[in-house]
Structure 1
Amino acid sequence: MILFTSSVFSFENSAKADQKDNRLPVLFNNLLQAPPGPYSIIIENKIWEIWLESADPKITDLMTRASKATQSKKYTEALDQYTKVIQHNPNYAEGWNKRALVNYLIGNYEKSLSDINRTLTLEPRHFGAISGQGLIYSAQKKWTLAKKSFAKALCIHPNMEGPKLNLKILSTQDIEAEI
């Protein structure tokens, strides 16, 4: 079974806000009401941009380095850089989320879930982290938890293609009993 993973994480960087930005409530409300298509994608991208913003140039620099390392599949370096982000500002949700991504990519599912939980403590609306959680549960064959995660992501971002497709796959597959 192959699960769709796009729209889970983004690699763009900016430099001003974070998950506490006062623009986010309106964007999330608009996301709930947006029809599928370009408008929804524009809103999603704006949310990602805000989540990645930081007024701290050190965070911006570390996130840029970590993102480049992730894109180059230099996962040890990426983990190191994201850990430095977290150490520098443990309340910056996107540092935790991006480290969760790298841990997922290298198969460290429990560490990834731990980072996702911290991300969601800081930003409970983080549809990317919630969808990533579903991917991990799917990889662990925890089908019920995976379905719940994908459904929760869709409650926040109803047009997110990855969770929609993953729910469809999970509902049409003959899934063995959970481990």
Structure 2
Amino acid sequence: MKRFVFPLLVLVAPPGVAWSEVCPSSPDHTESISAVIAQIQDVGNEAEAQTFSNQLWEFWTDAPDAVAQAVLDRGMTRRSGWDLRGAIEEFDKLIEYCPHYAEGYNQRAFAYYLSQDFASALPDLDKAIELSPNHVAAISGRALTLLGLHRIDEARVALSHALELNPWLSERHLMAPGGPLEPPGKDI
């Protein structure tokens, strides 16, 4: 019987204790992320860069504990199945439980973005970047969200920053000639 009681205790915060008081600190992958970003900047093609991008996702989606990981995974599964409202509800729970975990905000922003609720996505992206300043996906997501809000100059700045970190992002085409974020030409 004790085997079945323990998991329930882990999933429920003790009475009178907020979820945020139970969640441990997020794993600190700052040095590893910086090292991977440096490697991405040195590769010669998009295929090589993809391997390093996958490593970044492993760091970003490494939740603070098993409870947070389960909620993150459920939210991502719901989002992948286009249950965007359900995904947002899961990410709400994750953020309530672990308010200092950047990926909760990034994933909720992505669900809002897919719902075309750009105004709700933007503050979550800002928070994710505040918590994880080199979160390339959140930075590029911010650029796409700003583009969705027709804030072209801000979107261009955000995407430029993301491309400084990872020049192989698929979003780079948005800044190419004829792209919606093509840098303005110079007057002669």
Give the alignment's TM-score, normalised by structure 1.
Answer: 0.81
**What amino acid does structure 2 have at the position aligned with 1:116?**
L
Which one of the candidate residues 150, 166, 169 is aligned to 2:174? Answer: 166
2:148 is the alignment partner of 1:154: no
Match of 2:97 in 1: 88
Q: Does 1:145 align with 2:154?
A: yes
Q: Which residue of 2 aligns with 1:108?
A: 117
Identity %: 21
Bigger Rg, which one: 2
Task: Give the secondary structure class of the aligned counterpart of 1:98.
Answer: helix
CA shift in 2, pair 1:25/1:173, >3 Å: closer
Tell me if structure 2 keeps the 8 A contact 1:65–1:81. yes
**Structure 1 counterpart of 2:51:** 42
User: Does the residue aligned with 1:170 lie in a helix, a strand or coil?
Assistant: coil
Structure 1 unaligned spans of 5+: 1-16, 175-179
Unaligned segments of structure 2, at least 5 residues:
1-24
Aligned length: 157
Hey, what does 1:12 align to over in structure 2? none
What is the identity, as a one-letter code, of the residue corresponding to 1:170? P
Distance 1:160 1:65, change over 3 A: same
Which has the higher mean CA deviation after the structures are superposed, 53-62 or 30-39?
A: 30-39
Q: TM-score, normalised by structure 2?
A: 0.77
Q: Aligned pair in 2 of structure 1 residues 136, 96: CA closer, same or farther (>3 Å)?
A: same
1:51 counterpart letter in structure 2: W
Following TM superposition, where does structure 1 have runs of at least 4 consecutive aligned residues deviating by more than 4 angstroms?
A: 171-174
Change (3 A) 1:26 1:173: closer
Query: Following TM superposition, by how much is the alpha carbon of 1:40 offset from its aligned partner in structure 2, in angstroms?
Result: 1.0
CA 1:56–1:171: 2 relative to 1, 3 Å = closer
Give the alignment's Cα RMSD to 1 decimal: 2.0
